[in-house]
Chain A
Amino acid sequence: NAGVTQTPKFQVLKTGQSMTLQCAQDMNHNSMYWYRQDPGMGLRLIYYSASEGTTDKGEVPNGYNVSRLNKREFSLRLESAAPSQTSVYFCASTSSPERGNQPQHFGDGTRLSIL
């Protein structure tokens, strides 16, 4: 029962460094999402991929890039990390959001600190 798997679980970076957060789902879902979660602010959508081969910006895309590598994998890249990007990052997937009422399934998150 893997569901959505995120790696790494924890990471500390220095300002200006780059890194890629990995996400994979084994539920054959079409849509995948990257969120960040900050205290008192709920979940904010960074980027999403409605289907394989497509990606779109969410609410807070600046400073991030994404790649939908295949149907299973959706990665998030920080090209030049900034302290404001310190957060907990969640990847989620859902089968067909246009059908309505579909739950999003989440990974356990990546805790990222930028010094």
Chain B
Amino acid sequence: TQLLEQSPQFLSIQEGENLTVYCNSSSVFSSLQWYRQEPGEGPVLLVTVVTGGEVKKLKRLTFQFGDARKDSSLHITAAQPGDTGLYLCAGVVDSNYQLIWGAGTKLIIKP
């Protein structure tokens, strides 16, 4: 069974602070996707990282795919209350293109 360990599960910080969320696995993924979920809604894709070592930036969010394509991180610089939400990582399995999901990180940014 493939697993994707996501940490931390919960993070509450002040506006303006930086934070990093991690996703780790012993399995290799063809790509990895990051989603954000608001209360009462379904997850929405933020970014897909494909190549080992790849770094993608979306404004204050930086996503990195590990060299071995087994892990990924999401770094938020100068967090804002609008960043509050549940962040989910999902690894794409080579053999059947299914997604293996992390348990999620619930992020609260206090003004």
Counted as pairs of residues, one from A and one from B, with CB atoms less than 8 Å apart, the total is 53
Contacts of B101 in A (CB 8 A): 42-44
Q: How far is the CB of B37 from chain A (nearest CB, A)?
A: 8
In the complex, A92 Cα to B30 Cα: how many Å?
Answer: 20
**Does A2 touch B at the CB level, under 8 Å?**
no
Contact across chains for B88 and A42 when beta carbons are under 8 A apart: yes
Contact across chains for A41 and B103 when beta carbons are under 8 A apart: yes
Contacts of B13 in A (CB 8 A): none
In the complex, A78 Cα to B20 Cα: how many Å?
Answer: 39
Contact across chains for A106 and B43 when beta carbons are under 8 A apart: yes
Which residues of A (69-115) have their CB < 8 Å from a CB of B? 90, 92, 97-98, 100-101, 103-104, 106-109
Known contacts A43-B90, A106-B41; 16 further A-B pairs (Cβ under 8 A): A42-B102, A43-B43, A43-B101, A44-B101, A45-B98, A58-B98, A97-B98, A100-B30, A100-B97, A101-B48, A101-B50, A106-B43, A108-B41, A108-B42, A109-B41, A109-B42
